[in-house]
Amino acid sequence: MLEKEKKPFNDVIDHMDKIEGSRLEKIEMKTLPKPIRVLGYFLLTFVVVSTLLTVILSLINN
């Protein structure tokens, strides 16, 4: 994998990493499988377009 080893800076973060399986670094979209990337890009685009449409339509309606 392309994960970088990062050492936790305290016991709480170490516990979260070992027990809960959390990640200490950001998730890069390039490392995800293609269907998950496509879904992520689709959802991001949907949120941006719907926000813009809401703002534009609310300005036109007033």
Looking at the structure, tell me whether residues 38 and 58 fall in a common domain: yes
For residues 22 and 16, the answer to whether their CB atoms sit within 8 Å is yes
Q: How far, in Å, are 7, 43, 53 from residue 49 at the CA level? A: 39, 10, 6
Looking at the structure, tell me whether residues 43 and 62 fall in a common domain: yes
Q: What is the mean pLDDT of residues 13-19?
A: 77
Q: What is the mean pLDDT of residues 43-54?
A: 97
Whole domain around residue 60: which residue ranges?
32-62
Looking at the structure, tell me whether residues 18 and 37 fall in a common domain: no
- What domain count does the chain have? 2
Looking at the structure, tell me whether residues 36 and 60 fall in a common domain: yes
Confidence bin at 1 (pLDDT 50/70/90): very low
